[in-house]
Structure formats: structure tokens, C-alpha cells
Structure 1
Amino acid sequence: MFHEKLATPFVTRAFIVAVVAVILTWAARLSGLLPRLDLTDFNVLHIAGQMVWRGDIADAYHLPNLLRVMRELTGQEALLPWAYPPPFNLVMALFAPLPIGLAFLLFIGATLIAFLLVLRRISGLLFPAVILALFPSLMLTIACGQNGFLTGTLIGLTCLGLLQQRGSAGLPLGLMVIKPHLAVGLAAGALVMRRWTCLAAAVGTTLLASGIATLVLGPTIWSAFLRGANEASANLAAGHYPLYRMISVYAWLRSSGVPATLALLAQSAVAVTAVGFVLFAVRKRLPQRQIIGIAVMAGLLMSPYAYDYDLPIYGIGFALLLPDLLGRARRHEQALLFGLGWGSSAYGFIIQTLNGGVAGWHPPSPISLSLAGPMLIALLALIWIFLRREPARAIAGAPSPQTLASPPVQTA
């Protein structure tokens, strides 16, 4: 099979070594031990954490104020806005007292290890194949210093809990309040599967996390957050963000010259359709693993404001679906799945590199077209088509829902 030719133990070990090397290199550059980087996303995460301790975190939600603090703390500025819900401020406040290089090392290292452990639990012996499919996303998330491993871990833990039919699956689902748009598909899946205890736990966790943020940061943090969300929406509609780094249909259409209103309507239609596929999967009584995997994938199609560093979540859905896909897709179709996954993950980074110039070459004008969204749509469409086939063969390697399930409770 295709994946067996590439996802060898040697290749997997080489990938892991490369990931560790990049983490250590980026930490050293942030620390000044190697030539410094321009401001990265992690700089903004670290600055926001510092602003919590300074008591001016509300200013982070207004870009001119955030740029002023950037200049004050780093001597640089970059168009890196802050639009995270208040509970995430508390997460970054934990790392803010540390020097930025050490904070990066601990944040990225800890969340990556947690993500890989959850991914290994879901994928079983197919873990090397999933790592192969996800490698560009892993490297990109590290290079950005973003929270894709954290959200991927929370989504993965929710999936494991749903497979085991545990109400506590709602705890990590509720913690997705830090990036709620990425959890909409999974929440819809839990709803149509009637996992009421899970949903109740998710609501309770969300309220608790929001309450703690309100208590620590003050109630005015929510009005600042709402103003920041409106500001971010206006900047997105105006095209001030790098659309080529986004993975949404909205970004694709806007970068193609489609007016913002029409692009948003198209994005809404895609989101409704994605949720509809989750509902259809439940009505057709597809295997539980497939339903949950489809719900995870649907979450990536919800928001116009979704970036390539959010794609570790794709790895969770892919791990859930891969055993069934390998039993239904031909070798060249498997290669196409892996290729589209790589393309949607790496496209934005490649364009960013080209726009910055490569080996003395600069594009005549900056490349702004966003193509990750259509590649992701094509990938998910193919996954759906392949899942509708009758399996040609059984694929061993991934734990079944029965294997993942908790042992039955013994009663006297």
C-alpha cells in the first residue's frame, strides 16, 4: 500500500528528529542565542500573557494599543492582532513570566507531546502514516509558535471520550472555548448522537472557564473582546490579513476578488453543508468512529477565520478515518489524499516564502491567492466518497471503538 512505502520506522524517526531540531532552533533564535527572528505569532501570545500581569490585557484587543505594547516590549511591530476569548489569556499568562525562548520551548514542547500521545492512542499502529500525512502541519505550527497542538489535543481527547461513551468527553470540548469555532462540528456530532451528559459537561466547563476569566481579568474584558472581534471582522473583510495563510472558502473567494458579503454567504453555506453531512452520517448509522471523524473534519469548515496552523485537528479526524479509507481507496487515491493534505497544510508557508524572495528571486507582485481552502474541500469530499464505498479489504492497525472503550462496570 502507498502509506507502507513511505511511513517506515526510519522515516518516522527522521521526522521526529526534524521536529525536535526545529523546536530547539526556534527557541534559541527567540532567546537571542542564534540570529533573531522577526516577530512571530508566539511573540504575540507571550506579549498577551505579559499584559495580563501588567493589568492592561483589554488593550490587546485594539490593534493600535497592541502595536504600542509590541514596540515597548520588543522594539518591533507586526500586524498580528489579538482576538482570542478571555480564557485563553489565562493560559498564556502561565508562560509570560518566563523568558520567551524558554516559554516557547515549554508551550510548544508540552502541547506537542500531549498531541502526539493522543494521536498515537487514536491511530494505533497507523501512527507513522498519520505522522506522514500531518508532517507539514506539525512543522508549520512549530514555526508559528501557535496553539494548534493544544486545540488538537483537546479535540482528540473529546473524540476518545465520545468513542468510550464517557460524559467527561465534555470537559475538553468545553475547554475549546479558547477557539470555539473549531469545535462546532464535534459539538454538532455530540448533539445529533444525543450525548447529553457530554454536552452538559461541555457547557459547564465553558461557563466555569469563562467565570474564572471574568473573576481574574474583570467583567470589562468581555466588552473589550467583543470590540476586538468586531475589529478583526472588519479587518478580515477589508483584506488586511494574509488570506493565503487561511484555509477557509471565504479566504479563497476574497483572494479571488469576490465581494466580502458574497464570500461570507458562501462560507455560511459550506458550514451548514458540513454540519448536514454529520447529521446524514448519524441517520445512515455509519460506524461511530466515522461519525466522529467526519464531525472533526466539519469543524475546520465552520469559520472564515481559520488558519493553516489549525490543521493539527485535521490529523485527529484523519486518524479516526484512515483505517476505513485504506480499506476502500486504491493506491493512487491514497496518494491523492496524502498529497491534498500536504498541499493544504504547506501552501500558505510556501507562498509566504516566495513572497519574501527565494535565492535572489522575488515575485513581480506579492502572491495573495488562497488555495488551501479548495484543497481542503476537495480532500474532505474525496474522504466522503471513499467512505461511501464497500470496503475491499480489512485494514489492521488502528484501535477499534471496542478496543478504546472502557471495560464494563462489574456489579455484584
Structure 2
Amino acid sequence: MRDHSTVSTSRRLSGPPRWIDAGRIRVYAALVLMLNLGCFATRVWFGSILRAPNISPPGWDFAVFWSASWLALHGPAANVFNTALIEHLALPLQNILPSQLVTPWTYPPTFLLVVLPAAWLPFQISYLVYLFAGIALAFLACTRILPPARSFSWWMPIVAFPASWIVAHAGQNSFLTFGLLGLGITCLETRPRLAGILFGLLAIKPQLGVVIPVALLVSRNWRAFASAALTVGMFCGLAGLVLGLDTFARFAQALPAFNQFVVQHSDHWPHGISTVFGAARHFGMALPVAYGLHAVVAVLATCVVVWLWAARASFELRAAALVLATLLVPTYLMPYDLLLLGLPILWLVRDGARNGWTRGDGVVMVCAWLAPLSFYTPQQWAASAYVPLFTFVLLLVVVRRYLARRVGRAIECTSLAVAAESSDLG
């Protein structure tokens, strides 16, 4: 009876949390979806239709992309780094007056190459074309990760994920980076060269590709590593050929000013910066202390990636750890970058469906899913500064699941050995 009770308890603990079932998932996600739709509709009404002062319509960040495209198409591409020129075009599209919060172009020439055709179309149409192209790529990545299911229970929280609506609000490139990173990781074991190409295309946002080479090297995936390096080289070469090599020099010159204005003054940045560095600055820590604390967390996250990828942990846990480290290593991330949180959540859902759950997993995953809602809070709260805590705790969930599995295997092996020894003695 004792053994039977132990087995029953083990099975009950490995099942999904009782408060997370298909019905509740649909209801909770539908409520958040209504909030997202309400905020989006409000911005459309006041920003696009009524043109209320200083209320930006959807696509306020895409306005910078479109303006950079126009400047590159009508003159030397290096003009995109002239803040006065780009503000002249972007500010009317953003429906805001000139202020200290400038809208500079701080993206690499590789991303300028991607948005170069944007100004061929009117701003609103171009925004929708780029938005839905990114959504299609992100949707494809989700279909490769999700476990097969007949109901749409999995899809409702994906559609309602607050970060996806923040990306749609801004017209940012996060759907594109989500798709490239998600598809790259899913292709890694079966089509490593294609995975390397997808990783290399993340050169549009280099800070999101810092941890990937580490994972490829420790797992000895030489084909993906070589493919990624070759893709980055060709991508940069093509950007230099089309846009001019001086765009790379201007990009290098623009970075220190951007760091001075945004990163070092992150305690005044709207909604806060969604990194450990941003959180430290929000709580009043001095600049060296903030950098030091961020470095400690970044090193820890990178060490987790090295450990899990070198130890050949399950694919889902390795993939989740890689994306979470990608979010913890850069010093600068904005709320729209939190779309990437959806990837580790999806992989943990798949891992839980296959291998069971441990206590607390569901709570942390739900908190991480809700974390981007901080964007809707008043700017003076800088609530995004609290998001790195959920990201780091979600990484601890990955580590705990891996350790629990190793302990479980060790106990199982010990039990089998004891049983075999008892049988021999009998």
C-alpha cells in the first residue's frame, strides 16, 4: 500500500496544475485579449482618427523605419543617422511634437536593408504589410513548437499574449526576430545549415545573437556555426554594397551617443528598460553597480546555457534556456522585445506535456506571460523594470526541471540496482 500511495502521489504531482485547464486558459486569455483590443482600439481612435495631440497612432516606431527608408531611397543612405532629417519625417507620422525624446536611427545597416523598400508604399499600408509579414513568420515558428492539439486552447493565449499587441502597437521588428530565432532553434537538430542561416539573419538586431554562438560551440554544432558566420558576413557585405560602407562607420559612431542618451539615463526612459541593468537604475543604483549586477546575471545565464547544451539536456529545456539567456544578457531591451518570452513558455508547455510538471511551474509561466502588461501601466511606475525578475525565475524553472529529471533517473537506476541485487540474493 505504501508503494502504491507513493506512485499515485508522484503521478498526481506530475500532472498539470489543477487551476490551469483548457476552459480556464480560454477564459483568462480572452479577458486579456479584450484588454489588448481595447488599448489598440483606443490608440487607433485617438491617434489615427481624431489625431489628438501627442497620442501616437499604431506604428509609431515603424514611422522611424519608414522615414529611414525614404531617406535612404532619396539620398545617401548614411543620412538616416542624421537625427534632424529623420525627425522631420517621423514626428508628423508619430503625431507628436519635437521634444527631448528624440527618435534617432540606431539600427545596423543590415536592418536598414530589410526596411529599404518600406517607403515604396504609403506609411499606413507599408506598416500593415511589414506587420503581417512578421506575424506570418512568427505564426510559422509557433506551429513548429506547439504540441499537437485538436482544440484551440493553445492558440488563444498566443493570440492574447500582451507582448504581441505591444509589437503591433509599435510596428517593431520583434515578430521577425521571434520567427528567426524560433525557427532557427527548431531546425537546429534536423537542418543545421538552415538554422545557421536563420541565426545569421538576426544580424538585424545583433544584441539578440550574442548567446547563440556559445550554444553552438559547446554543443559542437559546427555546421550551424559555420552557416551562421557565413550568413552574417554575406548579409553585411550585401548591406555595404547596396547602402554604402560608410553606413557601418556612421552606425559605429551613433552607438556611443545612443548609449549615453538611453542606457545611462534609463531611470528616466518611458516604461523603463526591461533588463537587469534597467531595473538596477530604476531602483537608484549607481551606474557601475548597475553594470556589475547585470554582468553577474548575464554570466549566470550564459553558464546555464553552457551547462545544459554541453550536457545535452532535453531539446525543450535547452531551447528555453537559450532564449531566456538571450533576454538576460543585453543591457538594453524594450517592452516589445518581450515577445521573445513566448518562445520559452511554449517550449516549457511542450516539455510539461511530455514529461510532467513540478510545483510552481504554472505560476511562474503565467506570471511571465502576463509580464508585458507592464507596458500598459503609467510611465512613472517604470513597471517594465520588474520584468527581468520573471525572466530569471523562469530560467530557474528550466534548471529545476533538468535537475529533477536527473535526480529521478538516478533514483530509478538505484531502485533497479537494488531490485536486481534482491533478486540475485533470493
Q: What is the TM-score of this pair, normalised by structure 2? A: 0.78
Output aligned runs, 1:10-409, within 5 Å: 32=48, 35=51, 37-38=55-56, 40-71=60-91, 76-77=97-98, 78-125=101-148, 128-129=153-154, 132=157, 135-235=161-261, 236-239=263-266, 242=269, 244-325=271-352, 327-330=355-358, 333-343=361-371, 345-347=372-374, 349-351=375-377, 354-355=378-379, 366-368=380-382, 370-390=385-405
In structure 2, relative to structure 1, the CA distance for the partners of 1:52 and 1:315 (3 Å cut) is same
Residues 193-214 of structure 1, C-alpha deviations (whole Å, 9 max, x = no match): 1111111111111111111111
Q: Structure 2: how far apart are the matches of 1:15 and 1:54? A: 43
In structure 2, relative to structure 1, the CA distance for the partners of 1:371 and 1:22 (3 Å cut) is closer
Q: Structure 2: how far apart are the matches of 1:130 and 1:383? A: 23
- Structure 2 counterpart of 1:301, one-letter code: L
Alpha-carbon deviation of 1:174? Answer: 0.4
Greater shift after overlay, 329-338 or 80-89?
329-338
Q: Structure 1: how far apart are the matches of 2:280 and 2:30? A: 39
Greater shift after overlay, 241-250 or 190-199?
241-250
Q: Structure 2: how far apart are the matches of 1:331 and 1:201? A: 40
Mapped contact 1:281–1:291 kept (Cα < 8 A): yes
Choose between structure 1 and 2 for higher RCO, CA contacts under 8 A separated by at least 6 residues. 1
Q: Which runs of 5 or more residues in structure 2 are unaligned?
A: 1-15, 409-426
SS of equivalent residue, structure 1 residue 244 = coil
Alpha-carbon deviation of 1:143? Answer: 0.9
Cross-structure match for 1:397: none
In structure 2, relative to structure 1, the CA distance for the partners of 1:113 and 1:128 (3 Å cut) is farther
- Structure 2 counterpart of 1:307, one-letter code: M
| Alignment: residue pair count | 377
SS of equivalent residue, structure 1 residue 300 = helix
Q: Structure 2: how far apart are the matches of 1:19 and 1:119? A: 20
Q: Structure 2: how far apart are the matches of 1:129 and 1:387? A: 24
In structure 2, relative to structure 1, the CA distance for the partners of 1:283 and 1:14 (3 Å cut) is same
- Structure 1 counterpart of 2:290, one-letter code: A
Alpha-carbon deviation of 1:102? Answer: 0.7
Question: Percent of aligned pairs with the same residue?
Answer: 23
- Structure 1 counterpart of 2:22, one-letter code: E
Root-mean-square deviation (CA, aligned residues, Å) is 3.2
Residues 202-235 of structure 1, C-alpha deviations (whole Å, 9 max, x = no match): 1111111111111111111111101111111111
Q: Structure 2: how far apart are the matches of 1:96 and 1:21? A: 29
Q: Structure 2: how far apart are the matches of 1:330 and 1:197? A: 36
In structure 2, relative to structure 1, the CA distance for the partners of 1:120 and 1:238 (3 Å cut) is same
In structure 2, relative to structure 1, the CA distance for the partners of 1:189 and 1:131 (3 Å cut) is farther
- Structure 2 counterpart of 1:41, one-letter code: D
- Structure 2 counterpart of 1:106, one-letter code: V
